[in-house]
Amino acid sequence: MTKSLQDKVIIVTGAGRGIGREIALLCAGEGAKVVVNDPGGAADGAGSNAAPAEEVVEEIKKRGGTAVANFESVAEAIPASKIVKTATDHFGRLDGVVNNAGILRDMIFHKMSVEAFEAVIKVHLMGSFYVSHAAARIFREQESGSFVHFTSTSGLIGNFGQANYAAAKLGIVGLSKSIALDMGRFNVRSNCVSPFAWTRMIGTIPTETDAEKARVEKIKQMGPEKIAPLCGYLLGDSAKDVTGQIFGVRMNEIFLFSQNRPIRSVQRSEGWTPQSIAEHGMPALKGSFYKLDRSADIFTWDPV
């Protein structure tokens, strides 16, 4: 059977554990040469450890694949550019980037520190930009390439205690769409994936109430290996017409998410005042208001 990523060179950030690890293993199994990036920090980003990335590289080699480890952080521009340089130095080209690296610093908004907000933005949003920006010039010159960025229903829908994470993840959607628009003329694609999977990061979700405990037990059923096939597809040539989209994966379900479009309008020929908005405008729009839903309020059925 033909391998879908034969001889392609793929970078996977945060590939030492969890979803990133499974994507790296699948890409290698589909014939890609993989840069396994992971500084090996804790779930909150603290510390470093070369072992996770090295172990994934060893596993890939043991299965007959090709991979190299990289331990740079995505959270700063120069180290992030070195991840891309690792690909070109070792393999001579670059065909795909999976922006998976992430940390969590959950806290209810009024208690969230500036440092916790900035740290999450740096890794998720700025990290996705830094790596993509370094890769973009290569993709432009060769007129091909695919970006897969990780978003989350925390940003797409909502969640408690994750203002930093939600802001970063919704920012990534805007980043991905802009890349798709700007680089489409060069045959460069950019898509988002919102994963549902039990990982070390999800393990930091509070489990104080019975409802929270039940939710986490459901998430535990969803292995990170379920996320990898869609990412592998999006990196391959068979996805050449797929760009600017937002997908979700939950167990064996794949979702296509909607994107922001106007849903209702009001108009007044003489223009609006604060008073007329209060009296006529807002009451007419309220029927279409979105509730303050959380992800769990929307995905109410068990994963299948």
Q: Is residue 113 part of a domain?
A: yes
CB within 8 Å of 6: residues ≥ 6 apart: 30, 31, 32
Task: Tell me, yes or no, whether 85 lies in a domain.
Answer: yes
Q: Is residue 89 in a domain?
A: yes
pTM of the model: 0.92
Does the active-site annotation cover 165?
Answer: yes
Question: What pLDDT is recorded for position 120?
Answer: 98
Nearest to 165 by CA among 44, 288, 299: 44
Angle at which helix 18-29 crosses helix 228-235, to 10 degrees, equals 50
- How do residues 240-283 score in pLDDT, each as one tens digit? 999 999 999 999 999 999 999 999 999 999 999 999 999 999 99
- Give domain status of residue 172, yes or no: yes
**pLDDT confidence of residue 212:** 67
Report the largest interatomic distance among the alpha carbons of the chain, rounded to a whole angstrom: 73
The Cα 78–Cα 209 span in angstroms is 43
Residue 78 sits in a domain whose CATH number is 3.40.50.720
Give the active site residue among 130, 165, 233, 290. 165
Residue ranges of the chain with pLDDT lower than 50? none
16: its two tokens: 């030492």
Answer whether residue 300 is part of any domain.
Answer: no
Residue 205 lies in a domain: yes
What domain range includes position 135?
Answer: 9-256
Domain count, the chain: 1
Give the pLDDT of residue 208: 73
Residue 96 in domain = yes
Q: Please indicate, yes or no, if residue 244 is contained in any of the structural domains.
A: yes
Half-sphere exposure of 233 (CA within 13 A, CB side): 15
